[in-house]
Structure 1
Amino acid sequence: MSFNSYPLLKSIFTYFGRISVRRRQRWGAVLGWLTHKLASRRRHIVRTNLALCFPDESESTRRAWERQHFRLLAQSYLDRGLLWFGLPSTILNTLELTGEEYITHALEQGRRVMLLVPHFLGMDAAGTRLSMSISPLVAFYTPQRDPSVDKLMLEGRSRFSTAPLISRKDGIRGLMRALQKGQPIYYLPDMDFGIKGAAFVPFFNVPAATLLTTAQIARNQDAVVIPVISRLNAQSGHYQIQVLEPMADFPGQDSLEEATARMNALIEKYVRQDPTQYYWVHRRFKTRPEGQARIY
């Protein structure tokens, strides 16, 4: 019989959710330092990604970004305790949201709304904060291998949502149904799931297998695509969540590949503003065009 770690995990995350921001930051600094030192495989992935995407930066600069990235990554994981089990008033004071009017205005106009949420480290914070204001907000959920972790994450990410999370295993049909009901969807567009349904589109001038789903859904459902960028302030421990202006005429007359390239260029623009905030521990370039060597 497998060990049920759910009660222990919930106790740990509840602890992190109820302590002060400063104390959680101290824990984050320790965990970030340890992770950077001990997680050699993930360190290699981050180092490789930064070298590919920022070849003109000095190695010392990239190494500094690498260390800061692990610090912020660890903090974002501990902060899930706040998102999942902290007081709502504390969450509202810690997660600063701007641009929400772009969403409400589109909904008031009867538009179908697709929130484009790239993999910045504050993506969980953005989902929590938006689900506190925009209801119902429909999102994908990737089931976890460990049933205890799966239960904890499903509970936490459903905390303020009035709509059930949709398993990624079920495909995009649930998202399409939500849009047809007038419910906004929360979509993360920038992970490498292989070449099926994807195309090799430049990301920092590197061919990246990128799903065409964003452009497909926007075209098929006549949905407005509204980007959401989230960042963690290392000094204050607060999150800045920016809802940006809707993408103009997306996908318009572009092919799906052209529209997806435009999306990647937009994501790249905001990554460049602070490279430490992007989710570099993901093997973004693991799928290669035929004949090209593996990167990682």
Structure 2
Amino acid sequence: MSQGVSPAAARGLKYRALRALFRHFGRMRPAARLRLGRWLGALAYRCVRPRVKVARRNLELCFPQMSEARREALLREHFHALAQSVVDRGVLWYAPPEKVREMVALSGYEHLQRQLDAGQSCILLAPHFIGLDAAASRLTMQCPSGATMYAPQSDPAVDAIVREGRTRFNDVHLVSRRDGVRSLLRHIRAARPIYYLPDMDLGRKGAVFVPFFGVPAATMPSTAQIARTWQLPVLPVLSHWDAATGRYHIEVLPPLEDFPGEQDAEAATARLNALLEQWVLRMPAQYYWVHRRFKTRPAGQPKLY
């Protein structure tokens, strides 16, 4: 169920142009969308130099043992996958539901269904892979109601498009990060699953420094804190894009065992980062490398970008 678009945004030329563009993407034949994704990925690799620089630096930091040629190949693959994920939002946000199901396969939903049947909220732990929106759309098609933290976009037209797309199916509640984690409480009490992204650098406040591929990364311990405070199971949600077929596979894993258990929030967060490393190694080109994951440094350490 869409939360709506503000009248000002809906009247704006940029909003209407973006909506028309994504609708066009949604009507394209799969082969044409894949060609467009390859072309846009190659263009972004050549033209979006600040983000290319950030992604290249992240790969250097996380895979120092890898040859420069291999890292550069991964970088090209990453921009291809990232561009394709943008084009494919046209399907997720505007194409008929059967086209979404055709493009996005879902497995492991029975793990989430058990929580719904028990009338219990849970955390759907969704790391930043390029299929993040594919996972969200496919799950909201299946799940009657849910909530997720949302960082409002700085551009009102873009924000309106994203909000409209992400709340397209069923009863989806977008909770602004500005309101903090406690704003999720009413949704937890309503037994809604919480789609939660654990791996952004949101600054020093409230963060702990735990290793990510051997580099101290400012990481919010919120997953462990929420799970402990409200006794919520944590179900990882992984997304994988197949470059050969253009289809996505979304996998809901069983709840993490004994999480956070007896560990404090920092140790539990380090455990999550270690799991994330394993998932990244399964599909290294599809992690969101364009984010400055190591922007915030421990006291006294030099900047990495």
Kindly indicate whether residue 112 of structure 2 is the aligned counterpart of residue 103 of structure 1. yes
Counterpart residue identity of residue 235, structure 1:
A
Question: Does the CA contact (< 8 Å) of 1:112 and 1:221 recur in 2?
Answer: no
- Give the Cα–Cα distance (whole angstroms) in 1 for the partners of residues 201 and 170 of structure 2: 27
Distance 2:180 2:48 in 1: 32
- The offset of 1:111, in angstroms, is 3.2
What's the counterpart of residue 46 of structure 1? 55
Shift of 1:135: 1.5
C-alpha distance in structure 1 between counterparts of 2:172 and 2:181, whole Å:
15
Alpha-carbon distance in structure 2 between the residues aligned to 1:112 and 1:6: 35
Which residues of 2 match residues 257-296 of structure 1 at below 5 A? 257-296=266-305
Residue 161 of structure 1 and its aligned partner are, at CA, apart by: 3.4
- Select 1:135's aligned residue among 140, 144, 150: 144
Q: 1:144 — aligned with what?
A: 153
- In the superposition, the TM-score normalised over structure 1's length comes to 0.97
Between 1:66-75 and 1:172-181, the stretch displaced more is 172-181
Report deviation, 1:33. 0.4
Q: Select the residue among 222, 233, 239 that pairs with 1:230.
A: 239
Q: Quote the Cα distance in structure 2 between the aligned partners of 1:90 and 1:241.
A: 15
Counterpart pick for 1:217 among 211, 226, 230: 226
Amino acid at match of 2:147: V
Q: Which runs of 4+ in 1 moved over 6 A?
A: none
Match of 1:70 among 79, 97, 100: 79
**Residue 202 (structure 1) aligns with:** 211
Aligned CA-pair RMSD = 1.3
- 1:250 maps to what in 2? 259
Separation in 2, partners of 1:142, 1:59: 34
Partner of 1:123: 132
Which residue of the partner structure matches residue 12 of structure 1? 21
Kindly state the Cα deviation for residue 177 of structure 1 after the two structures are TM-superposed: 1.6
Give the Cα separation in 1 of the matches to 2:77 and 2:172: 35
SS of match in other structure, 2:195: strand
Residue 30 (structure 1) aligned with residue 53 (structure 2): no
Provide, for residues 174-227 of structure 1, a one-character-per-residue CA deviation record: whole Å limited to 9, x for no partner.
322211111111000000001111100100010000001000000000000000
8 Å contact 1:95–1:238 — kept in the other structure?
yes
2-structure distance, mates of 1:164, 1:230: 21
Contact 2:140 2:172 survives alignment (8 Å):
no
Give the whole-Å Cα distance in 1 for the aligned partners of 2:146 and 2:44: 33
Aligned equivalent of 2:5: none
Alignment gaps of 5+ in structure 1: none
The amino acid of 1:246's aligned partner reads P
Code of the residue aligned with 1:70 in structure 2: it is F
Letter in 1 for 2:28: I
Question: In 1, distance between residues paired with 2:35 and 2:236?
Answer: 32
> Which residue in 2 is equivalent to 1:158?
167
- Residue 117 of structure 1: CA displacement? 0.2
1:184 and 2:193 correspond: yes
Cα 1:13/1:164, change in 2 over 3 Å: same
Aligned residue pairs: how many?
296
Of the structure 1 ranges 170-179 and 191-200, higher mean CA displacement relative to structure 2 is found in 170-179
Q: Matched residue of 1:163: which SS? A: strand
> Percent identity of the aligned residues?
49
TM-score, normalised by the number of residues in structure 2? 0.95
Q: Distance in 1 between matches of 2:134 and 2:172?
A: 18
Deviation at 1:252, TM superposition (A): 0.7
The whole-number CA distance in structure 1 between the counterparts of 2:136 and 2:236 is 13
Bigger mean CA deviation after superposition, 255-264 or 138-147: 138-147
